[in-house]
Structure 1
């Protein structure tokens, strides 16, 4: 792959770090803070990040499993989050090659519609099952997730940016 000028060569991602970050995001979502419609979905955010950066390791199957875990935790309609996370992962994998050519703030603008689609799917499934409309504050969540995209990118790519033992024969 041709890299942009000035872009740093990254180390391979550790699978334990990938799955640990997904588990940590799941635990953050499970904190008893009270689920309000405007709160960002950390599992969705980390899932999109890893679907973009490591599509062969984190895919639609992982998204479905994490969605089922969220459905069980929130006592939501079984499959509501699973369907939304699966669509989210599919859309992220679909644009991952194009998305990586942009800067991180531009990436945040481009993942905003993906987060909006995921929240619209969750809301549609909830409303079709006879749920109550949570209000128009649900529109804030995709924007909050897009604003958190640069922070998550910096945090999750930090272990890959470490220099591997540089020496005279291996300057990279």
Structure 2
């Protein structure tokens, strides 16, 4: 793949770090903060990030399994988050080559519709099952998730940016 001017060459992602970050994001979603409709879904952001950057390691199956775990934890309709995360992962993998050509703030705007669609799927399933509409504050959650994209991008790419053997004679 041809790299953009000024783009840094990254080290390979450590699979243990990928799965550790997904588990930490799931634990952040499981914090007992109560039902806050505008709370961003940290696991969705990390799933989309790794589906874009490592589509062969984190895919639809991993998103489905994490979605089932969140459904069981929140005692919500089984498959609600699983379907939303699976859809997120599928579309993130679909656009991952195009998305990586954009700058990180532009990427945040590109993934915003994915987060909106995921929340729309969750609300639609919840309301079809007889649940109530959580209110208009739910529309703030996808915006907060897109705003978290640059922060997550910097944090999760940090281990790949370090030099493997720093040497003043080798610029790479």
Give 1:30's aligned residue.
30
Give 1:135's aligned residue.
135
| Aligned 1:62-141 pairs, distance under 5 A | 62-141=62-141
The CA deviation at 1:34 is: 1.0
Q: Paired residues, what number?
A: 172
CA distance in 2, matches of 1:166, 1:70: 41
TM-score (norm 1): 0.98
CA distance in 2, matches of 1:32, 1:94: 34
The CA deviation at 1:168 is: 6.1
Unaligned stretches of 5+ residues in structure 1: none
The CA deviation at 1:52 is: 0.2
Structure 1, 161-170 or 37-46: larger mean CA deviation = 161-170
Structure 1, 161-170 or 59-68: larger mean CA deviation = 161-170
Unaligned stretches of 5+ residues in structure 2: none
Give 1:146's aligned residue.
146
Q: Secondary structure at the match of 2:69?
A: helix
Q: Secondary structure at the match of 1:108?
A: helix
Give 1:6's aligned residue.
6
TM-score (norm 2): 0.98
Shift >2 Å, 4+ stretches: 166-171
CA root-mean-square deviation:
0.9
Give 1:61's aligned residue.
61
CA distance in 2, matches of 1:95, 1:83: 18
